[in-house]
């Protein structure tokens, strides 16, 4: 931690900090770690190149700090959604989580962008650890939803928690990708559609999930 950001940076006026974070976030989200240029970052934030090295140890340091910052924003969102839907049933909670995710990505495209970039950059520093942190975070979230749902009898009792967590993570993560990255969305056609179309897809997806997970008459071959 102390190897990443230097006290010099934290002592900076907040607006200057913000300018630098914004510039770095934009650059990393646009280009990914290895293609991101410190030249661009200093140019956009209006500071001297040397100053960047007063604030952070090196390119890696900047990246890790920015990624940390991004994670903390996401974390805040998830905690808030989780708490505000405490009382609702499993499927409602899941649906609201999905919709909250869609809204978040629309609002903070850069944060989602930096996550997508790191996802496949072998060169990104500590990529493994960073990704694991993010995914485990999501997994924990779904896991806790599932446990509560099963305890309340809303879900089949024989559901394997591990695999079900995987299913939810995969479906929601992919849905968010499709909703935000046109190239991913081959089948759904979300980017050309309006809000209405999006909501219909959410309903259809939830319906399939409900069939897959809910308690009630079981499937009999």
Partner DNA sequence: AATGAATGAGAATTCATTCAT
Partner DNA sequence: GATGAATGAATTCTCATTCAT
Tell which positions 9-68 bind DNA, by CB under 7 A. 11-12, 16, 36-40, 47-55, 58-60
88: DSSP letter: S
Structural contact between residues 214 and 154, judged by C-beta atoms closer than 8 angstroms: yes
Angle at 77 between CA 104 and CA 142, to 5 degrees: 100
Collapsing DSSP to helix, strand or coil, 110 comes out as helix
The distance of closest approach from Cβ of residue 204 to its own copies in the complex, given in angstroms and rounded to an integer, is 4
- Among 187, 194, 195, 196, indicate the residue that binds its own copies (CB under 8 A): 187
Task: Give every CB contact of residue 206 below 8 A, 6+ residues apart in sequence.
Answer: 91, 94, 95, 98
Site for DNA in 123-182 (CB under 7 A): none
Q: Does position 167 bind its own copies by CB under 8 A?
A: yes
CA distance linking residue 31 with residue 36, whole number of Å: 5
Q: What is residue 155's three-state secondary structure?
A: strand
* Interface residue list for its own copies (CB under 8 A): 30-32, 34-35, 116-117, 119-123, 127-128, 131-132, 135-136, 138-139, 143, 156, 159-160, 162-167, 169-171, 173-175, 178, 182-184, 186-189, 201, 204-205, 208-214, 216-221
* Interface residue list for DNA (CB under 7 A): 6-8, 11-12, 16, 36-40, 47-55, 58-60
């Amino acid at each position: 931690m102390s190897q990443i950001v230097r006290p010099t940076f934290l002592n900076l006026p907040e607006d200057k900090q913000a300018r630098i974070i914004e510039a770095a976030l934009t650059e990393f989200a646009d280009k990914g770690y290895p293609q991101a240029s410190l030249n661009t970052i200093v140019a956009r934030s209006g500071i001297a190149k040397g100053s960047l090295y007063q604030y952070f140890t090196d390119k890696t340091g900047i990246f890790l700090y920015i990624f940390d910052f991004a994670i903390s924003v996401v974390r805040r969102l998830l905690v808030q959604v989780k708490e505000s839907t405490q009382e609702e049933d499993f499927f409602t909670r899941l649906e609201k989580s999905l919709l909250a995710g869609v809204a978040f990505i629309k609002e903070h495209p850069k944060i989602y962008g930096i996550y997508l970039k790191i996802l496949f950059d072998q060169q990104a520093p500590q990529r493994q650890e960073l990704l694991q942190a993010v995914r485990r975070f999501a997994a924990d979230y779904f896991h806790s939803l599932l446990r509560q749902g099963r305890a309340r009898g809303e879900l089949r009792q024989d559901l394997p928690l591990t695999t079900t967590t995987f299913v939810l993570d995969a479906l929601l993560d992919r849905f968010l990708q499709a909703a935000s990255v046109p190239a991913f969305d081959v089948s759904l056609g979300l980017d050309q559609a309006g809000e209405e179309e999006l909501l219909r897809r959410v309903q259809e997806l939830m319906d399939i999930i409900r069939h897959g997970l809910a308690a009630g008459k079981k499937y009999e071959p």
